[in-house]
Structure 1
């Protein structure tokens, strides 16, 4: 026969039909049963195919030829029993047709809902609960349903009864013609075997993962060891570089190298100790205030009392700031042109500025307001307050022989005395003298009150660029550029006699940007060398 079984059910029980159809066709018969003889021949590996009447036929139709043919070609009829199928005309017709084929003993029932024989007045149930169709409850005689009762073989899938799994096995036992208990035992053995195989596979996988984990652990440890060794090597390298930097006096470089060494290896005790030593026994400048400007700042200075900071920027403005808080003091002192220089008065109450429009401006340092201005007939290069703050000294160098140094009253802006022919000048520390230097190579010292020369001319072989008193007022320092391309030079002079002190400090290949006395007036520092005054011997660079 073509089909192992024909599934008969009500359309409303379709989900049960789908489940049973799949469960039967996909069931693998236990290997020990395959090939054994049964009433239907040798037991196959699978019960395939199973015919399923998927849809109910129209009420007015007879069973189709394909249905009748399928019933004839089916070894068994499985009826899915429920109150719906018990009332189904076509379920009844399929049962009757199968019985007429003489296969009444090959009808199997799967109870999914309702109660069998409830229509017999079974206590606790209603007639409507009946799940067996009348054609199943009674035998067929002469092609008609008789009054002789029939006891169909039923598997009960309801909860509390066989359940779906055991109900399926009961149906399979009936289809295969084997003992249910034997099939169930073999199914349990198969499940146990499958479970053992799964367990063995799981153990194998666990072992593999364990081996991989161990390998990963050792590889990771080796990788960490290699990484740590590399970091330790880098740490030692940076530490050695730091030692060289310390020997060369490059403490800031050493700090960076020690920090990098400890970043590579925080446990580098030598680097820790050396870093601690540098930090404890050295003083390093740190930023206390940041004074923001909108333009490039070209110079900045503290006030004489240290309470204010003045900055000159390229936006043609001079600003004063509070040195403690960083707050702006007063309004910016704005100019129409470039500001060359600015200086506080000794008492910090005023600011003198020099701009490119040939003007010296006097400002109130507290509020930034203009006090007075002093016009010149040529560009002014420098301005200086006298030590008592009463006078101003301006210098205007000029390559056309029109140099001018002039004293001014700091309050009124009026000229004091006659101008001197010089391009650079400076007050003595006591404010009683002025030292000047000119383009013609002459330096001289003058009395502030009388305007008389106190020394004879101090001759140089080139144009003088700067002149400065020593802190004790006993000497002056001049810087000039020698004629004939012989380079720059500096020299100290006795401020009382005008006589030279020591040798000329020559810089034939360099430009001297600035030169100043040491605080004890015994040494001079230029842009590139530090020399002893009396011997002009080089002591440092």
Structure 2
């Protein structure tokens, strides 16, 4: 029996996508819960390392992404057809270096950013079905998570060296680096307006930074509990995080 490993609601609320422990993605009618498409991601796998699948919709709902430890697939959720597969650079580097674990879409749904276990970050065009990465970043020390800014011009990374690094997505140049955490940063995100960045570290602290001058405007320790997820409200005025024991929110 398979276990559900992730699910996502389409932006228009009409369909739900789920991924399971056997690398199967299903698309369901949200009103009747009738299965519309069954997508077998194992058919495009060269090597099977982990079969757990995470799913994500683009903001406009045009594309559905599914990611496992071995590849990233982009699907048309309306037809169920496979649009693009992103895998390792070569079979020799596959197992050790190119196990993908986090793949966000940019705000316009035109690009995706991938992280490999080696810490390498790559940005791909979704429309270019056969093309390689548009941009390759090799940050030192390893990368835990990446996220696009609301306008898509910047990409941030939560780093194992305890910093948050931000790059220009067109040139690959590092724009700035945020320092303040004492241990590795495992998650970070932009506010919807792009004025703030929130970060959480294994030093048990959460920090909120102002992007304009890179200043840390708030830092707190949620009772020695590790924070697993960060999020801003849509207006950017309220900040939420999940920790052991519940969800906490603050006025930014």
TM-score w.r.t. structure 2 length? Answer: 0.82
What whole-Å deviation, never above 9, does each CA across 1:377-427 have from its counterpart, x for those lacking one? 42111111111111111123x4xxx31221111123520122242331101
Q: Give the corresponding residue for 2:93.
A: none
- Residue 77 of structure 2 is aligned to residue 362 of structure 1: no
Q: Is contact 2:5-2:52 (8 Å) kept?
A: no
Deviation digits for residues 210-265 of structure 1 (CA, Å, limit 9, x no counterpart): xxxxxxxxxxxxxxxxxxxxxxxxxxxxxxxxxxxxxxxxxxxxxxxxxxxxxxxx
Q: Give the 5 Å matches for 1:333-352.
A: 333-335=40-42, 337-352=50-65
Distance in 2 separating the partners of 1:497 and 1:394:
28
Q: Give the drift of 1:302.
A: 0.9
2:106 alignment partner, one of 356, 377, 386: 386
Q: Decide which moves more: 426-435 or 319-328.
A: 319-328
Match of 1:521 in 2: 236
Q: Is 1:328 the counterpart of 2:35 in the alignment?
A: yes
Structure whose CA Rg is larger: 1
TM superposition outliers: structure 1 runs of 4+ over 6 Å: none
User: How big is each residue's C-alpha offset from its partner over 1:351-395, in whole Å with a ceiling of 9 and x where there is no partner?
Assistant: 2211122x1122222232322211134211111111111111112
Give the Cα–Cα distance (whole angstroms) in 2 for the partners of residues 496 and 447 of structure 1.
15
Residue 500 (structure 1) aligned with residue 238 (structure 2): no
Per the TM alignment, residue 325 of structure 1 is displaced from its structure 2 partner at its CA by 2.9
Matched, 1:314 2:21: yes
Number of the residue aligned with 2:136: 418
Alpha-carbon offset, residue 343 of structure 1: 1.1
> CA shift at 1:303, angstroms?
0.9
Counting helix residues as a fraction of each chain, which structure ranks higher? 1
Within the candidate set 161, 164, 174, 1:440 is matched to 161
How many Å separate the matches in 2 of 1:444 and 1:434?
8
Contact 1:309-1:323 at 8 Å conserved across structures: yes
Contact 1:363 1:370 in 2 (8 A): yes
The CA deviation at 1:473 is 1.1
* Alignment size in residue pairs: 229
Q: Is the 8 A contact 2:8 2:55 kept in 1?
A: no
Q: Which residue of 2 aligns with 1:458?
A: 179
Gaps of 5+ in 2: 43-47, 89-96
CA 395–496 in structure 1, closer or farther in 2 if over 3 Å, else same = farther
**TM (normalized to structure 1)?**
0.40
Distance 2:236 2:60 in 1: 25
CA distance in 1, matches of 2:103, 2:147: 9
Aligned pairs for 1:70-85 within 5 A: none
Q: Aligned partners of 2:194 and 2:85: how far apart in 1?
A: 31
- Return the alpha-carbon distance in structure 2 between the equivalents of residues 455 and 382 of structure 1: 22
Unaligned runs of 5+ in 1: 1-293, 483-487, 534-541
Cα distance in 2 between the residues matched to 1:296 and 1:417:
35
8 Å contact kept, 2:24–2:53 = no
1:458 shift after superposition: 3.0
Q: Is the 8 A contact 1:392 1:407 kept in 2?
A: yes
Deviation of 1:508 after TM superposition, in Å, equals: 5.0
Offset at residue 298 of structure 1 (A): 2.5
Whether contact under 8 Å (1:321, 1:327) holds in the other structure is yes
Higher strand residue share: 2
Deviation at 1:319, TM superposition (A): 0.7
- For 1:328 and 1:383, locate their aligned partners in 2 and report how far apart those are by CA, in whole Å: 25
What is the RMSD computed on CA atoms of the aligned residues? 2.0
